[in-house]
Amino acid sequence: MMSKIRLTEAFKQRLCSDIFLHIKNGHNTFFKLKKVLAEQNPKFGAREIRSALKYGCSRWILFNLKGNQYKFFLEGKTYSYKIV
C-alpha cells in the first residue's frame, strides 16, 4: 500500500504553481486538472489536487520575483485565476 503524500504548505504551493500553468493552458475543470496532473505524477490523486486548489482559492500566492501574486477562483465548475 502506498503511503499518503503529506499535505504541507510547501507541497501545496508547488502543486499550485503546476495547477496555475495548466489552468492557463485551458485545463480549468477539476477532472481536466486531475487527468493532466496524474499523467505527470501518478502519486497525485483527488486528495492532493483538491487540497492545493482549496489552498490556492484561500490565499494569494507569490509566483515571480517581481512580487506578482495569483489566486484561484471557482466559477461554477471551472477554475480561473486573478493576478495582482
For residue 84, the 8-state DSSP code is -
pLDDT 10s digits, 61-78: 988 778 889 999 999 999
Mean pLDDT, to the nearest integer, of 4-22?
A: 94
pLDDT of residue 64: 79
Q: What's the distance, CA 70 to chain centroid?
A: 11
> CA-CA distance, 37 to 74, in Å (whole number)?
18
pLDDT of residue 21: 94
* Banded model confidence at residue 2, pLDDT cuts 50, 70, 90: low
58 CB burial (10 A radius; 0-12, 13-18, 19+): exposed
> CA-CA distance, 26 to 67, in Å (whole number)?
24
